[in-house]
């Protein structure tokens, strides 16, 4: 590889597509996991002999001469930026200095993850439901003071050390090849949770009747079969969406759903909606009392589902920490306004997801701003450390947005055996002053500067805008260029070698864009088919959110366990999430039929000879009523006769036999 001239931007590493593909398929040993169409460049850091001699001379100079030298070097750096050069900043005690580079370079060992970028977060504050461990804020303050030291940052010439990821990962279960969708769903949403829902729903129905002082004639206790069917119908409503749930039981043949009518009546579905509950209201502590819990109404759900989703799938090497929003119309104080999200107003949940599959390993619900200013300042630190608790010293790679990323957090994670990467706010404590916008000046697209402290690398570059980034899993001086404009679209003044390529990006930004996709992928799978209907009770949104999350996670577990093969009995070409949801809903409903459904089924079975089963035409009342058979045909006839078993009035002509057919 020839030495670079000063006018050149990069030294191209000649690689073939086959070589890149083989490197990607090596799994754990591959240094990078990025698309094969990315062109790689290196900017090795090495001082020339003349520069080393200059440094020896400068050591003998006085303080006044050092100040003048710093001013000249700063001016030289500014002129190099204006000339369009791509540089690595050198931070010394005398100021900013530019150095020429030679051929040698080193690479960082990265992970095997996937693509897609994420926008900056506007997260405000959090109140985690877990108690903080002693000394958390003391350690946080100590790291914060260390990173603000003047001697903390140095030149980007250190070789970083990254331990390989060797822990077990992937689905963890004992299901066989004959397991179906319901079996995988039970891994995450067990039968014990259905039994708990049945018990608390029946208790709440009695509680409502006792408080109102009158009994509900239309309510009778539910059971686990009916509760499964109720959940199955809500899953189907997310696939076949109608404006109102009553329309599923409409008599119009083009709107009504025969399967819904067969499973249960509209009134029974409404009664289950009214009385559905997850906690014991009699023992719920009031606000201000000892043992008060803001999430008491869903605490059993959080405890059970939190353990099942953590145990069913061991995390892979690359993980994403980000927020998701739940659309809500209920009265819940922590509802957030998030203008940068597609869903601008809703309930906020922080999630730890797999960057490759989108599987959600752990969640934390935002329940309000902490009253303590110290706790509010360290909320990002608290959220990340609580989400990754239990994964220490396994050498996972975490990708997070600018709300979480800070120098003290990445140092803390590095001490615990995590590598991390993400954009950050340059105004945060510990970020090097030399890389702040006021000191760097105006950058051309593709220019970047870096500082280093051990594994911790700070970068600033210009992509669509100025981006500041921190990482502990990337070596400095490595950039990549993805496909961009074609040669005919290149603007005047572009380098000939760069025509047809995009903007060069340093390695930390590339890895972030490729791997900050876990939560977004999980949201895409979850938002395709919503479960549940809008209501005024805030905890219902979280109930349907976790049921939907269990569906997405069980789909991921099935897909990876069977390696893309569909369950036994599926005849389609590709088993998608829609097929998974339909199959799951059908298995949850099974052969369950409510009282009206069984009556209709019996009526259909006995239609050939209704008299043998007690159906006969007889006088129903003294007052005539409309004939049901004529009404179904759009006619209006009244009769005092009818069928007492079916409890309908019928004309004395052929309406009796026609109705029973």
At residue 546, the pLDDT reads 97
- The radius of gyration of the chain from alpha carbons, rounded to an integer in Å, stands at 33
At residue 142, the pLDDT reads 60
419-423 and 397-400 beta bridge pairing: parallel
At residue 128, the pLDDT reads 39
Coil, strand, or helix at residue 247?
A: helix
DSSP 5: P
121 vs 403: CA distance, rounded Å: 6
DSSP 172: -
The DSSP-derived string for 73-136 is HHHHHHHHHHTT-----EEETTEEE-----S---------------PPP-------SSPPPTTH
526 vs 508: CA distance, rounded Å: 29
At residue 77, the pLDDT reads 37
Q: Which segments of 424-537 does DSSP mark as H helices, in order?
A: 437-440, 507-515, 518-528
What tokens were used for 35? 């698309």
637 vs 295: CA distance, rounded Å: 57
The DSSP-derived string for 325-387 is EE---S--TT-EE-TTSSS-EEEEEEEEEETTT--EEEEEE-----SSHHHHHTHHHHHHHHH
What tokens were used for 505? 């990006």
Q: Which residue has the tokens 């239990």?
A: 390
Coil, strand, or helix at residue 404?
A: coil
192 vs 156: CA distance, rounded Å: 55
The DSSP-derived string for 546-600 is HHHHHHHHHHHHHHHHTTTPPPTT--SS---HHHHHHHHHHHHHTT---HHHHHH
Coil, strand, or helix at residue 182?
A: helix
595 vs 121: CA distance, rounded Å: 51
27 vs 571: CA distance, rounded Å: 33
Q: How far apart are the first and last CA of the chain?
A: 87
Distances (CA, A) of 190 to 226, 228, 301, 304, 374: 16, 11, 11, 8, 39
Q: Where are the beta strands (DSSP E) in 419-560?
A: 419-423, 448-453, 456-462, 466-471, 478-481, 505-506
At residue 277, the pLDDT reads 95
Q: Which residue has the tokens 């049945």?
A: 198
- Per the document, the length of the chain is 661
CB 470 within 8 A of CB 405: yes
612 vs 632: CA distance, rounded Å: 25
Neighbours of 608 (CB within 10 A): 10
Residues 6+ apart with CB under 8 A from 421: 397, 398, 399, 469, 470, 471, 472, 473, 474, 508, 511, 512, 515
The mean pLDDT values, 10 residues at a time, for the chain of 661 residues are 34 32 39 51 50 50 44 41 35 35 35 38 36 48 64 87 93 93 96 96 94 89 96 96 92 91 93 95 87 90 96 96 83 65 77 96 84 62 93 95 91 94 91 89 88 93 90 88 54 45 84 92 92 88 96 96 89 91 96 69 48 71 88 88 86 84 73
CA-angle at 311, arms to 307 and 312, nearest 5°: 115
What tokens were used for 246? 């009553």
pTM of this prediction exceeds 0.95: no
CB 102 within 8 A of CB 48: yes
């Amino acid at each position: 590889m020839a030495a670079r001239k000063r006018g050149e931007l990069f030294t191209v590493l000649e690689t073939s597509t086959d070589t890149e593909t083989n490197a990607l398929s090596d799994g754990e040993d591959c240094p990078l996991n990025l698309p094969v169409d990315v062109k790689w460049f290196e900017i090795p850091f090495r001082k020339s002999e003349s520069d080393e001699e200059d440094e020896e001379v400068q050591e003998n100079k006085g303080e006044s001469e050092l100040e003048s030298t710093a001013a000249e070097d700063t001016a030289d750096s500014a002129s190099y930026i204006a000339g369009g050069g791509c540089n690595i900043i050198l931070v010394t005690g005398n100021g900013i200095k530019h150095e020429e580079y030679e051929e040698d370079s080193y690479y960082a060992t990265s992970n095997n993850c996937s693509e897609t970028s994420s926008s900056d977060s506007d997260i405000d504050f959090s109140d985690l439901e877990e108690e903080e461990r002693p000394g958390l804020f003391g350690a946080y303050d100590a790291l914060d003071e260390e990173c603000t030291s003047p001697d903390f940052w140095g030149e980007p010439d250190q070789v970083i050390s990254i331990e390989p990821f060797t822990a077990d990962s992937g689905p963890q279960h004992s299901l066989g090849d004959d397991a179906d969708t319901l079996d995988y769903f039970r891994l995450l949403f067990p039968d014990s949770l259905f039994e708990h829902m049945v018990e608390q729903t029946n208790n709440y129905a009695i509680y409502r009747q006792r408080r109102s002082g009158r009994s509900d004639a239309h309510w009778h206790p539910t059971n686990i079969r009916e509760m499964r069917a109720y959940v199955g119908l809500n899953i189907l409503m997310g696939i076949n969406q109608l404006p109102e749930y009553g329309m599923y039981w409409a008599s119009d043949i083009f709107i009504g759903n025969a399967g819904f009518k067969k499973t249960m009546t509209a009134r029974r579905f409404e009664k289950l909606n009214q009385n559905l509950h997850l906690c014991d209201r009699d023992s719920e502590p009031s606000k201000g009392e000892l043992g008060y819990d803001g999430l008491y109404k869903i605490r059993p759900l959080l405890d059970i589902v939190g353990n099942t989703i953590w145990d069913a799938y061991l995390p892979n090497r690359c993980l994403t920490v980000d927020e998701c929003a739940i659309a809500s119309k209920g009265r819940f104080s922590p509802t957030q306004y998030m203008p940068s999200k597609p869903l601008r107003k809703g309930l906020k949940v922080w999630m730890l997801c797999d960057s490759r599959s989108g599987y959600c390993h752990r969640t934390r619900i935002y329940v309000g701003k902490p009253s303590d200013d110290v706790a509010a300042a360290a909320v990002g630190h608290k959220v990340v450390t609580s989400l990754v608790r239990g994964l220490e010293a396994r050498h996972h790679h975490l990708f997070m947005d600018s709300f979480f990323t800070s120098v003290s957090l990445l140092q803390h994670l590095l001490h615990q055996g995590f590598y991390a990467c993400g954009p950050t706010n340059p105004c945060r404590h510990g970020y090097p002053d030399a890389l702040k916008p006021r000191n760097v000046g105006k950058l051309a697209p593709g220019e970047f500067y870096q500082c280093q402290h051990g594994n911790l690398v700070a970068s600033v570059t210009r992509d669509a805008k100025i981006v500041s980034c921190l990482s502990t899993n990337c070596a400095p001086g490595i950039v990549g260029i993805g496909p961009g404009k074609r040669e005919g679209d290149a603007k005047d003044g572009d380098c000939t070698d760069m025509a047809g390529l995009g903007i060069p990006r340093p390695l930390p930004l590339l890895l972030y864009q490729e791997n900050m996709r876990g939560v977004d992928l999980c949201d895409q799978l979850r938002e395709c088919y919503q479960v549940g209907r809008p209501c005024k009770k805030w905890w219902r949104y979280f109930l349907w959110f976790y049921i939907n999350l269990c569906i997405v996670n069980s789909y991921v577990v099935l897909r990876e366990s069977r390696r893309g093969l569909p369950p036994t009995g599926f005849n389609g070409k590709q088993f998608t999430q829609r097929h998974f949801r339909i199959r799951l809903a059908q298995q949850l409903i099974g052969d369950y039929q409510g009282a009206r459904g069984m009556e209709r089924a019996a009526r259909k079975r006995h239609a050939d000879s209704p008299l043998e089963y007690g159906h006969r035409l007889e006088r129903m009342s003294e007052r005539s009523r409309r004939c049901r058979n004529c009404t179904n045909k759009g006619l209006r006839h009244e009769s005092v006769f009818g069928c007492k078993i079916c409890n309908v009035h019928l004309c004395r002509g052929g309406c009796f036999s026609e109705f029973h057919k």
